[in-house]
Structure 1
Amino acid sequence: MELKRFRISIAGITETHLVGNGTDPIGEGYHLLWSGQTTTRRNGVGLVLDNKSIKCLLSFTPVSDRIANARLSHKQGKMTVLVCYAPTNEADDEAKETFYSALANELSKISPHDIVILLGDMNATVSDNHDLWRQVIGPVIPDPLNDNGLRLLQLCSMHNLVITNTLFARKDIHKYTWYSNDGRTKKMIDYIIVSQRWRSSISNCRTYRSAEIGNTDHRLVVANMRLRLQAQRSQPRPTKIDVSPIKRYGPSMPLMSRTASTHSCHLKVLRTHGSRLRRMSWSQRPQILEGRSVLRKHGFSSIRLTSLSRDARQGFWATCRPTGASMVSATS
């Protein structure tokens, strides 16, 4: 199977001519999900998923014989894939309006967090006016604009989509997706369209003439997509308060009964300068909790209490001020 040879995980096919809708394995590790008319074998669209992708399938909605909707999950979120088969450019305006209204309705239902991928035969040639449609198309446009192309550009602009076929400069044989029976007329009418947000994740999009995909005048269009996602930065873990210096230097029930936030600065001083204080005798140890000026005099960093209220600061100093030579304890 050509899908396996080209290592394709998700493929959209049109003109399946299958009745109704359903899901069937088609061999070589692929599954077909299709949507068609209830009685006649006309039009029809289908989605082919490999074994890995079918396990990620959340839902499949056969909208009509021209539109099918599938939603898949991946590690970072959800992905919605639409397979479409638009009326020809010569069709009447009513048929075109019905199709594009239904397609716009399906796009409006998609979650804004989903990756949107639109695959299909749009029977449209888009404009070469890159300046006007800069957010929708790239600089590579081989054909003039037609009516279907204008409708497609307006749809993509409204729903923030970009046509990936136009993003990469290729030879003509790798641009055109449809050839007439005489081989003289050729056009780009089959597209792979993605959300503008994921435009940079498309690394390649081209046509492969060598793919043998049955009796059809269309060529296989393949795009390589990689997801560039940045993990959210984890929140810093709160610093654990070390109370061992208080336990080491004697009873301090008044301090321990206070909340940890009130005395976090006090404990930080003890944790930072505890080894220095242990080397000093009791008579040499300064009363570091007497005030900021005493701390600066003895070379200790000042205690920051700006985040506390006025009453909390007064209570902090009243509790921490020693009565004797002890450093932390209210009793020696």
Structure 2
Amino acid sequence: MLTYNYSYSKLLNLRQYAGKITTAVGSVLKDLGIFHYRGTRGGRKSKFHTKSNKDIDSKNLSNINKKVQEAVRKQKPAKYFHWRAGQINVNTCSDDFLLHETLIQIKAANLDIVCMQEVRRIGTGAISHEGYNVYWTGLKIKKMYGVAIAIKQSPHIKVSNVYYVYERLMAIDVTIKNCKLRIVSAYSPTESGSESSKDIFYAKLSKVTRVENNTKLLLMGDFNATSTITTRKSLFDGNLHRFQDTDDISNDNGTRLINYCSDFKLCILNTWFDHSNVHRITWHSNDGVTKKTLDYNICDHWLRKYVTDTRVYNNYYLSSDHRILVSNMTTPANKAARWKKHKKKKQSKRANMSKLKDRETTTTTSTERYTTLMTVLNKAVEEVPKKTRNQNAHPWDGDERLKQLIKERKNINKSTVTYKEEEIKAMQKAIKIRVKELRNEYLYEEASKLNEAHQNRKIFDLWRKAKEHGDVIRKAPKPIKCPGLREHFKDHFNPDQSSLKIPDEISTPPEYIINLRQPEFEIDNEPPSKKEIIDAIGHLKGRKATLDVASEMLQVATENPVFVDHVHRLFEEIWRTKEVPSDWGLSKLTTIWKKKRQST
């Protein structure tokens, strides 16, 4: 009889199309009169059911099989491949019977790759059992320590290299559906272990986890490490600065593990998903009270994007005080899946140079060319948005009592009372007293914060805030008046030319000066090129502009080739006519007093 059971599916060769029996295959079976399609009812999934109970000979089965295979081939290949990786400290797998029992539970968990610790098998070796290829390494004589990696026998998983490092560490290079990975199984010394054994373990681990750029890393193991970071969804991505003040219960192994992940920029997958403590704790003590998280799944940043879940499963029977930790992966199977559309960055608003582009100057003199350039630059500066200042000049401007006093003063000024000078003076006095009280309160609060910050060694941030409100401590200096300074510099820079005489050193120069005036080498007298103009403007210091236009604005303007072309024409005109713009002869004098302010 035709029934959809294991024997029929095996004869029809449908088991190899697991996950691909969709509408394409269903339509073939429906046309042949074998299955009929039942639609979704009440939220249930669609299913195919047998339509008849007629006997089918082998010839019809072979035709059906060919048509099903053809329908599956026409389907587009899946972009992503789903697989599961886990790790467990088995306590012991020293004999084949214990290994058999462990693999049965691993198979029930539907794991493709499993890292096992403390297998306690002698030497190195490999064995195939229960649909898995198991590789292990341990001590040569004693049945202690030892790690192993079990790889599911699948056409999508190919093993290329096996690295037996030592009894606590091993690695395997695999290719899972066009995705190259290095799987590392690690078993760290316990907290009571010697410092030298821990140093050796992390030195070897650092060496084996250095992979090529096209190979991704997945590290799973029992690190005997406790940390506050792993007890919640902390999203640890190797950036240690975000977690320095939050790790309270970290032991020595925990500190070493966190520092190792920070050095190699690795993500701890236990911290990337929101689960209860039941699905986070990996070790249960025999006393039934002590519970800890000692096992971790770790990967690089690229692989972390394709991890859909990481949690502990407690419903599998394993003769161990540890629980199995599983990570679900959905890795890309081809180039199309790896490609991701990146959002374009918003470009900042640039100066408007359209007027230079649309307008060809017909001026000939350097002064007119320079005036045109400065006009365009000044208009461009006006279009740049200016930085707005805070409306409240002082921290206490928002006080309600102060606002009420200021409002009453305005009302008195608007009133028609003839004798209101005394009222205004009284209100002014009340406002000053209120401002003084608020200033004293503010300074007292700031001083208290400084004392607390000094105790906590965080005085830098508060000192920066105090500098921003520097007007609280001292008032702005009054402008300095220098009535005699202008006449002094006017006489200094405009001396009487009639009394000046040419020095003898210039009228009759010595012989070596005459030789210097006739150099044998050639001097480049050509005007500066566009590249030299761009480099010179690029080296201008900020906030030290000699013009009315800031140097930062000139540096932005050099990104426009039209602006550079006009500046180049200006210098060519200067070189040709030997005349500089008249504005270049203007200068501004600013008084800079040394030490205390002086008045003249």
Question: Shorter-chain TM-score: which interval?
Answer: 0.5 to 0.7
CA 1:49–1:142 in 2, change beyond 3 Å: closer, same or farther? farther
Contact 2:270 2:297 in 1 (8 A): yes
CA 1:163–1:131 in 2, change beyond 3 Å: closer, same or farther? closer
Contact 2:233 2:273 in 1 (8 A): no
In 2, the alpha carbon distance for the partners of 1:185 and 1:166 equals 21
How many residues are aligned here?
230
Q: Percent identity?
A: 28
Deviates more, 1:5-14 or 1:70-79: 70-79
CA 1:133–1:75 in 2, change beyond 3 Å: closer, same or farther? closer
1:154 to 249, 252, 259: 259
In 2, the alpha carbon distance for the partners of 1:172 and 1:144 equals 16
2:326 corresponding residue in structure 1: 222
Q: Per-residue CA shift, 1:103-135, capped at 9, x if unaligned?
A: 011112x21221100011010013439999842
2:169 to 47, 67, 75: 67
Within the alignment, does 1:35 sit opposite 2:137 as a pair? Answer: yes
Q: Per-residue CA shift, 1:191-250, capped at 9, x if unaligned?
A: 11111122121111111111112x2110011110111465278xxxxxxxxxxxxxxxxx
Relative to the length of structure 1, the TM-score reads: 0.64
Within the alignment, does 1:120 sit opposite 2:221 as a pair? Answer: yes
Q: Secondary structure at the match of 2:209?
A: helix
Contact 1:121 1:191 in 2 (8 A): yes
Q: After superposition, where does 1:232-243 map in structure 2 within 5 Å?
A: none
Contact 2:188 2:198 in 1 (8 A): yes
The structure carrying a bigger helix percent of its residues is: 2
Q: Per-residue CA shift, 1:3-49, capped at 9, x if unaligned?
A: 2222100000000000011110122x112100111111110000011
2:124 corresponding residue in structure 1: 21
Within the alignment, does 1:163 sit opposite 2:268 as a pair? Answer: yes
In 2, the alpha carbon distance for the partners of 1:45 and 1:53 equals 25
CA 1:199–1:58 in 2, change beyond 3 Å: closer, same or farther? same
Contact 1:143 1:187 in 2 (8 A): no
Shift of 1:76: 3.1
Within the alignment, does 1:9 sit opposite 2:112 as a pair? Answer: yes
CA 1:142–1:208 in 2, change beyond 3 Å: closer, same or farther? farther
Deviates more, 1:122-131 or 1:55-64: 122-131
Q: Secondary structure at the match of 2:320?
A: coil
Q: Secondary structure at the match of 2:212?
A: coil
Tell me which structure has the larger Cα radius of gyration.
Answer: 2
Q: Secondary structure at the match of 2:259?
A: helix
Q: After superposition, where does 1:104-253 map in structure 2 within 5 Å?
A: 104-108=206-210, 110-128=211-229, 134-136=236-238, 144-213=249-318, 215-228=319-332, 230-231=335-336
Contact 2:190 2:224 in 1 (8 A): yes
Q: Per-residue CA shift, 1:64-92, capped at 9, x if unaligned?
A: 00000100113434110000000011211
CA 1:113–1:49 in 2, change beyond 3 Å: closer, same or farther? same
CA 1:8–1:32 in 2, change beyond 3 Å: closer, same or farther? same
Q: Secondary structure at the match of 1:154?
A: helix
One-letter amino acid matched to 1:226: T
Q: Secondary structure at the match of 1:183?
A: coil
One-letter amino acid matched to 1:106: V
2:180 corresponding residue in structure 1: 78
2:189 corresponding residue in structure 1: 87
Contact 2:234 2:272 in 1 (8 A): no
One-letter amino acid matched to 1:220: I
Q: Secondary structure at the match of 1:226?
A: strand
Contact 1:72 1:79 in 2 (8 A): yes
Within the alignment, does 1:50 sit opposite 2:156 as a pair? Answer: no
Contact 2:162 2:173 in 1 (8 A): yes
Within the alignment, does 1:97 sit opposite 2:97 as a pair? Answer: no
